Amino acid sequence: MLDLDFIRKNPERVKAAVSSKHQSADVAALLSFDERYRQLRAERDRRRHEQTEKSKLVPQAKKRGEDVSALLAEMNVLKDRIQALEDEAKALEGPIRDILLQIPNVPAADVPPGSDSTGNVEVRRWGDPPKFSFKPKPHWDLCQGLGLVDFERATKISGSGFIVYLGDGARLERALFQFMLDLHTTEHGYTEVFPPFLVNRASMTGTGQLPKLENEMYCATADDLFLIPTAEVPVTNLHRDEILQEEALPIFYAAYSACFRREAGAAGRDTRGLIRVHQFDKVEMVKFTRPETSYAELESLVGNAEAVLQRLGLPYRVIHLCAGDLSFSAAKCYDIELWAPGVERWLEVSSCSNFEDFQARRMNLRYRPSEGKGTRFVHTLNGSGVALARLFIALLECFQREDGSVALPEVLWPYLRGQKELRPK
């Protein structure tokens, strides 16, 4: 969440962020509640001081043999007033926090203006889209011909939007996330984490999925636990309510997880194939940094995700998201998109975001500077490194051959026991 003092000093900037991110949060009501809350606290402190001063008069009056009943009556009135002030202030804490949780992060200064994805800015491209002497097939036809995915039985088991990988398909899926974990942990300095796939409400609130996105999540209502939409949630919450030492920063984690998203409101969109599914695999990268280094770490994070695609030889582009396309919690974000020639589309496989101290405030995650007093909130970042099944799609469609076979990138051969291609069954 945002610092309340920042909101007090920058109300118009915060209102603009709410509007640009298409959110609804009553900033004016928040400031009104906050002003009343501070008035109540100020009067409480004055009354307490008055109570203290009067309490000093009682023994003095008794020593002089004076009647103290009137003084004691005044002190009882003060006591009741202080309690009333406490109760009224306490009643405002819930509404203040509720509105704070509804306010999105403010876009960084260099985020492009724009109300939707049309305002995004392409930063760079790598590689050339493949050219074919034949009409490339979409991935669902390739999956069927190669026996990689059983869409019908997945629907029978779980409903639409779920996947059963078979044989070479299952091995390829596993090879891809194993390759990514090895790359990030051995070359990019990340520590591997294997997190729970169910998290509590506090964890979802800490990273910003709740309360805004509860309808998008799968919830085990009997236990009030949520299936994770991304490993960002459990991994970022590893240090919730902790105070880290500055010497420990930066901290890098990489995690494989299955991810679960209801995609509420997305019915009828991309229902064929693997483009939009309710369960998918992903390798996530999470960083905890000092504020001074977080934007340099964001660029490095994007480079780590790009390295995956470069090793696989897949053409991609990097997009700087505009304000209207930023997530609720992000201050700045780059998307990485792969070209999928069979469906003739760019497909997002990674979002790399800097949340600054937005998530850390929600999680009460701080660090103690090596010099100076007190604590500061860390900056948190995360990025897909990268996400399946769209990586799976692009790999099949880019490396397909006219006979329906698919060449496999050399970097994957060791993970597939030397297998260099997929051939029709």
Report how far residue 143's alpha carbon sits from residue 98's, in angstroms, rounded to the nearest whole number: 47
Domains belonging to the chain, first-starting first, are 4-102 (1.10.287.40), 117-422 (3.30.930.10)
Confidence of residue 103 (pLDDT cuts 50, 70, 90): very high
419 touches 400 (CB < 8 A):
no
Q: How many CB atoms lie within 10 A of CB 47?
A: 18
Chain-centroid distance, C-alpha 409: 31
What is the arithmetic mean of pLDDT over 391-418?
Answer: 98
pLDDT at residue 264, rounded to an integer: 59
- Nearest partner of 207 among 235, 188, 165, judged by Cα: 235
- Percent of the chain's residues with pLDDT above 90: 97
- Percent of the chain's residues with pLDDT above 70: 99
pLDDT in tens, 298-343: 999 999 999 999 999 999 999 999 999 999 999 999 999 999 999 9
pLDDT in tens, 250-284: 999 999 999 999 975 555 557 789 999 999 999 99
Confidence of residue 415 (pLDDT cuts 50, 70, 90): very high
Q: How many CB atoms lie within 10 A of CB 273?
A: 21
pLDDT at residue 191, rounded to an integer: 98
Handedness of CA 366, 369, 375, 381 (dihedral sign): negative
Sheet holding 279-289, edge to edge: 121-126, 316-320, 332-340, 345-354, 379-387, 279-289, 251-260, 191-193
What is the arithmetic mean of pLDDT over 95-119?
Answer: 97
Report how far residue 334's alpha carbon sits from residue 352's, in angstroms, rounded to the nearest whole number: 5
pLDDT at residue 266, rounded to an integer: 54
pLDDT at residue 345, rounded to an integer: 96
What angle is formed at CA 71 by the lines to CA 68 and CA 73, rounded to 5 degrees? 110
Confidence of residue 121 (pLDDT cuts 50, 70, 90): very high
H/E segment holding residue 79 = helix 69-102
Average pLDDT across the chain, whole number: 96
**Residues designated as active site:** 261, 276, 348, 351, 390
What is the arithmetic mean of pLDDT over 388-413?
Answer: 98
Is the per-residue pLDDT at 170 higher than 70?
yes
Give the list of residues 6+ apart from residue 84 with CB closer than 8 angstroms, or none.
none
Query: What would the 3-class secondary structure string for 338-364 be?
Result: EEECCCCEEEEEEEEEECCCHHHHHHC
Give the list of residues 6+ apart from residue 134 with CB closer than 8 angstroms, or none.
402
pLDDT in tens, 175-187: 999 999 999 999 9
pTM over 0.75: yes
Q: Label residue 26 left, alpha or beta by phi (over 0 means left) and psi (-120 to 50 means alpha).
A: beta
Tokens found for residue 423: 């051939």
77 touches 28 (CB < 8 A):
no
